[in-house]
Structures are given as structure tokens and as C-alpha cells.
Structure 1
């Protein structure tokens, strides 16, 4: 049994400082969300937004990583997922700092009066018509309701001048979003390509984009080493969250 499975329950996932129930969410707690929540640059974050929060996992991770003065807003379209995210936030040590909104991010963006120094999203990436077990899962995983073009437009409207917009995607989808983002006027600042192990090519990518140019930082990380144990880089990144690390 792996370390991750040791803390996985049928209804959710236990982390060091919080529990995420996800039995009413189409998308369960997974590696992608944990990687983004642990990786996104928070050093200068003053207000944080999680687009498509699902169970609230990434919002909770970012609340753990930021100071008491940092507010974390989370928007989720699916009603059941939004309610569960609200419950997870309320049960966490950061209940006073996390606000979950059940809304379409496109409509919410038009009403929002805040600007965010950090925006994160574990966005949909399948094209419409891809096979999924349930309609809710299809909506969460496909770009029918929220295309990457729409997502970039929303982030552009909400980001501060020196903020970061961060996503995690499969490599091919990430490259497509990056090309589209550059066309929108975004600038790549951080990129980490993720491979399951040294024998396989990267299959997912973490991207941090900014409205303004600056130095680019590119690196690569493997999740497991040759002995199939979690790599030191992966353990270092997730140590504050996973139990038994």
C-alpha cells in the first residue's frame, strides 16, 4: 500500500492539517490538484482565487500556505461540489479565510470587485464528446462549459498587474493553452514538466503565467525514482500535506 492510499478513504482524503470529503464531487482528490496546490507561487500573494474548485482541495492547500491576512475565494459551477467545498472549508483551520461561491466563473467575473495576485485552476481539458462515467464528470473534465479561451479571458479580467495565473494540465493540453495564452498577451514565468518516472516522458505540466514579462524558470520533476519510491523532489514539494512524509 502506498503512502497516498494509506490515507485515502472512500469518502475523502486525509491530509496533515485538513480532510477533504469528495464523495459528492465528480472529480476526486488527485495528483494533479495536489501538485498545483503545493507548487503555485504564494510568496507575494495578497488575495487568491481558485477557479473550478471542485472539493475545495487547492483552495485549502493555498490557505495553509499563506498568511492570516490572505483571503482565498473559490468558484465552482456544480452545485453538489460547491456545497461540499463549503463544508470542507468550514471544517478546516482556515474557515474564516476561505469563501466558496457556487457560480459560473464567466458570470462571476463580471460581478467580482476584487483583483487577485494569484489565480489557480485545475481546468477541464477533454474535448466535448469524450467518454465519461457521468454527466457531472463529463462537465468537469471537458471544455464544453469553459473553454481555455474563456478561462484566459476570465483570468485576464481578475489578475493584478504583478499576479500569477497557474494551471496544471496534461502536457499536450498545456502546450496548447500556453500557445493560446501567449496570443492573449500572457508571459510564461514558471514551467515544471512532470513525469511519472525517469523512463517516461512528462505527461503533465504546471504553468505560471503573468501579464508582464520577466525571467522564465523551467524545470522537470519525476514523481517516482528508479526504486518506485517517491522522488526526493516530489516528497519535498508535498511534505507539508501528505501524511507519513
Structure 2
């Protein structure tokens, strides 16, 4: 992308509100999508701030959209920016991203959710090790009822490899088992179910002009 366009994206990020609003709720957004992070780099710090302690700074990300869940976006390769302390963890293959459109066709990332993998049928799912595993602003008491039995490659949920017996019997009791020394979630939340559960919250957040023009 041309340098001028990247500068415009960075200025948008600097002018935007914090990613989370009151009580961990995200800002309004235009598109919810599952995407891969193709490239993620930090923008240079200004000369007068290179010795300062900075909690968050604009990071640029080129993403490949694999599924649009809410809103409308025909392009599959997008340029985005997000205020971050560190970049996206490359070990996560997919992310659920809430994207806010800018006037030049680029996006700022309002919020993100990792832990998205494909099940053995190819559907996007979030393995649940307990009903409250997601980040603040994403959880719902309805997750327990919405969780379904899932089957997936254990290696895809790599973050569970460090779980031990006391984790499975404690935090993950009733939700996980140990299989060949690797914790495996018995149930998960399909991303379309997650979106349907959070639609009322997002509609209240965004109003009639919210993601996908939620009524």
C-alpha cells in the first residue's frame, strides 16, 4: 500500500476511541468477520517518544477475510489498523474481528477474539474449556445452552497443550478431557451461534445503523 494511505490509517487509529467502552463493551462496528492475519507490523514511534513508556501504538495488519458474519464487504484482502501493545500472536490461525470502516476503504479493528478454529467438517468454532473463556464483552450466560459437542484436531487448539490434569479437573471440569496428554474441549460455540447470541447487545450498541444494519 502507498505510504500516504498507511499514514491515513494511522491517523484514524490515533483519533479513534479506545477499543472497549463501558464495562468491556466494544465500540460500534460495520463488519464482523473471520480472518487470517497475513502481515502485522508496528508503526514507527515519533522521535520524541522513543524513550517513553507507551501502552498502545498503531499496528498495521493486512488480513484475508474468510467469512463475513455481519455487515457487507466484498473484498477479501483488507488493510487495517489497531491500537495494540504487541501485535497479533501468529500462532492463532484465525481471528474473529470487529471492523469499523473508514472513508478510504480501510478499517480499524474495534475488537478481536482469538481461539477460532475449524472443526472436522470445516465449520468455524471456538472450543470452550468453560462457559466464560472469552474476553470481556464477548461472554454471555446463554453460552452454556448454546454450546454443542464438537470434534476437531487437538493440535489446532495449541493453547490447550499446556493444560494438565488439575486444569481439566478444576477450571475445565465437565468441559474438557485429557487425550494423549493434551486437553480437548468437549463442547464449543460455533461462530454463527456466537453472533446470533450477541446480536441484541450489538444492536443496542450500534442502533439501526449498526453492523449489518441490525434491526
**TM-score, reference length from structure 1:** 0.22
Higher helix proportion, which one? 1
Flag the structure with larger Rg.
Answer: 2
Q: Which has the higher contact order (CA 8 A, sep 6+)?
A: 2
**TM-score, reference length from structure 2:** 0.24
Higher strand proportion, which one? 2
